[in-house]
Structure 1
Amino acid sequence: MAKPIRIVRKLELTPEERQQQAMQELTQSLTDNQEALQQSLKLVRELHESGALELVTALLQSREQVAKIAVDQLVKPSVTQTINNAMAVAGAVGQLNPDVTKKVVGGVVNGMERAAEVLESNEKVGLFDLVKALRDPAVNKALALGLGFLRGFGEKI
């Protein structure tokens, strides 16, 4: 009967064998990723020819100074207020009903087009024209919308 193995010896490679194995793995990787590497080289060539590669290199070399400038700009009160305002607006927009928003925005676009036409025609509006406009269903609807907006706005401020 054979004796049991009690000592496990690790196969240790010489530096030359490790280098040879690394070269084989690298060659295999180059072969497997040939198309991606060619596209990467083309991208690097385009960046170099346009001067963008030098810009990115300089930016990376100065990354500590660039980071300091960026942080200094971000901690300014105006920037933090802008970020806070943007987040508040994003939260408010998320609460809007998309159907109502679409309808109101469509009305605003149509109203702007009509306003441009009136602006070009230089029409004069008199007191009787205003009273007559109140009987127009479209004008009445817009006034009701505006009054509803003002009521809702006033409730929240």
Structure 2
Amino acid sequence: MKGRAIAGIALILLGAYLFFMRDENISTGSVFAYFWPTLFVIPVGILLHWLYFGVFGRSAVGVLVPAGIVTTTGIVCQIATLTDGWSYLWPGFILAVAVGLFELYWFSGRNKALLIPINILAGASLIFFVAFSISNLLGKLALGQPFLAIVFILAGAFLLAARKSTP
């Protein structure tokens, strides 16, 4: 079963590489350039998870924080590398810390005090992700600032023209 899972993941990654890099020649250097997170970062996160779940158990609950951070960071880096989306995927690094702390919360005594930094970090990550994604999307659509200006003008005109409702 393990061999089939590893082969399946390898084929999926190879297919993604071939899909995204249709105009490039395949070489060892290009594979390392595009899959360094999968080859070097994500396995460390998986190893740390294995240490908790398979070797040490509840006595090493602190290993879950770096495990969650490293695994999430590797996934964010892999997606950003394949899609060249560094400009709008960087909030995933903030989310990585929230994921690591959430794993600590979930698998330890469920200390409610951990929910405060988890929610702050996840909320900040979500806000930055939405803000930069929308900005990037508007920039790619070649609408950008003129489109935003028209939206603000129309919204202001609507607010001025709308009748006040009487209670």
TM-score range, shorter chain: under 0.3
Larger Rg: 1
TM-score, L = length of structure 1:
0.23
TM-score, L = length of structure 2:
0.23
